[in-house]
Amino acid sequence: MPSTSGQSSQFRYTQTPSKVLHLRNMPWECTEEEVLLLCRPFGKVVNTMLNVGANRNQGFVEFAEVNQAIQMVTYFTSPSEPAQIRGKTVYIQYSNRQEITNNKTTADGAGNVLLVTIEGVQAGDVSIDVIHLVFSAFGFVHKIATFEKTAGFQALIQYTDVATATEAKNALDGRSIPRYLLPEHVETCYLRITYSAHKDLSIKFQSNRSRDYTNPYLPVNPTTIDVSLQPTVGSDGKIKEPESNVLLASIGNVQYAVTVDVLHTVFSAFGTVQKIAIFDKLGELQALIQYPDVATATIAKESLEGHCIYDGGYCKLHLTYSRHTDLTVKNDERSRDYTIPSVMPRPAVPGVSWQSTQATAAAFPATVPSSIQPGEVPPTAWNPAVPVGSYVPAQSSYPNPSPTSHTFAPSAVVPTVPATQQMLPPPYGASPGSGQIPNYS
């Protein structure tokens, strides 16, 4: 019987593409803000209809262009990067409809919630704090929610009563937000105000796109903060991407096999690798590598970015931080969970690299019973410095780091390639001499 995921993937490709996408298995009372956060990287969402169906766990989103919807469906086809909201996998497919027409937002009469369209600006040009400053001049503002629709950048503002909302509407409709509250590139932004059909807005989290001023204890959801609007700047003045303990590796110019064992050998040079998952996305070989903490992942990223697994420019690594923090993997040829004792690599001798034969017998004291029975061979402890029989340690182009540097895991299987294209732990170019620290530059 074919798998459910296989059927779902096949179904997505056999459907006729549409600007409207159907979302299933959404969290209970999923907000528009959470859905927009998922959709925003692929294009402009002009309309939504959420919390529909018998269990109120389905919804629809409409993009401005059909190509934007196609990109989102294609991106989330991979099982390694499923669409998720609040940690719950959301299934996405094309809708049979070509537009959302039954999402009523305006009211027939006056109400306590105003629908404000801010013309001439993009999302982020006018902050939620500016909106609150302008509208609180007429009374206590309970809640604000901002979003993007076909009409442009919009906001819902909830007042205590209809009278206060009406006063604000009459005073601000058709007016512009004061120039000194706007960014330099925005000349004017006129307010078009109508009454909303909503009576009480549902705000789940405090963020830069929604605010509940009646509940100071409402949690702040880090995932709802738009990083592009609030960038983190490093000491060098450059914008830093959000860090994670999981690295996403894109591997280019793949001329030799890149296996789980190869990646474990390369990345374990900088710390304990917990999990690895290899997958193909959009015709490119990619992998997720999980470390126990962000600091170790950062060291590995800075050391390996732009370098090649094999000498000669083969299997070049491009590393970014993944949005994942804990991978769910199977133990097969393309993924491995090293936190399970049965699949953990053989630990290296402290201070000795995996290919080293410099360990002393003192590190492995022999244990010989006091009495040996006739016919028994006295047991001895394994000593890596002494070859057993005809099995001599294989030569390798990996350098032998000093005791203060990272060591390579001993169990990784290095693929067989021509002598002129030996695998190197990037960014090394040649083995250093005895006692010399490898060049990481």
pLDDT per residue as tens digits for the range 313-372:
899 999 999 888 888 888 888 999 998 877 655 444 343 333 333 333 333 333 434 444
Higher pLDDT among residues 413 and 186, named by residue: 186
Residue reference for tokens 């801010």: 118
Question: Alpha carbon of 349 to those of 337, 357, 385, 410: distances in Å?
Answer: 22, 11, 12, 9
**Residue 102 banded pLDDT, cuts 50, 70, 90:** low
Q: 37 and 223 in contact (C-beta within 8 Å)?
A: yes
Candidate ranges 22-36, 41-55, 309-323; pick with highest mean pLDDT: 309-323
Higher pLDDT among residues 394 and 198, named by residue: 198
pLDDT value of position 280: 87
pTM, 2 dp: 0.37
In the predicted structure, residue 29 carries a pLDDT above the cut 90: no
CA 170, chain centre distance (Å): 45
Phi, psi of 63 (to 5 degrees): -90, 160
Candidate ranges 34-38, 50-54, 382-386; pick with highest mean pLDDT: 34-38
What SS3 class is residue 145? Answer: strand
Nearest to 81 by CA among 234, 248, 255: 248
Q: 75 and 20 in contact (C-beta within 8 Å)?
A: no
**Residue 106 banded pLDDT, cuts 50, 70, 90:** low
Higher pLDDT among residues 240 and 247, named by residue: 247
Angstrom distance (rounded) from CA 408 to CA 188:
60
Q: 32 and 123 in contact (C-beta within 8 Å)?
A: no
% pLDDT > 70, the chain: 66
pLDDT value of position 112: 92
**Residue 170 banded pLDDT, cuts 50, 70, 90:** very high
**Residue 172 banded pLDDT, cuts 50, 70, 90:** very high
Looking at residue 301, the DSSP 8-state letter turns out to be H
What SS3 class is residue 181? Answer: helix
DSSP of 320-360, one letter per residue?
EE-S-SS----SBTTEEETTSGGGPPPPPPTT--TT-----
Average pLDDT over residues 252-256: 90
Nearest to 140 by CA among 168, 116, 118: 168
User: Which own/partner contact pairs does 412-416 have at CB distance under 8 Å and 24+ positions apart?
Assistant: 412/261, 412/262, 412/264, 412/265, 412/268, 412/345, 412/354, 413/259, 413/261, 413/262, 414/261, 414/262, 414/265, 415/256, 415/257, 415/259, 415/262
Give the β-pairing of 20-24 and 91-94: antiparallel
Least confident of 115-129, 131-145, 396-410: 396-410
**Residue 107 banded pLDDT, cuts 50, 70, 90:** low
How long is the chain?
Answer: 441
Average pLDDT over residues 10-18: 64
Higher pLDDT among residues 413 and 251, named by residue: 251
Sign of CA dihedral 137, 138, 144, 147: negative
Candidate ranges 88-102, 225-239, 282-296; pick with highest mean pLDDT: 282-296
pLDDT value of position 74: 87
Burial of 250 per CB tally in 10 Å (0-12, 13-18, 19+): middle
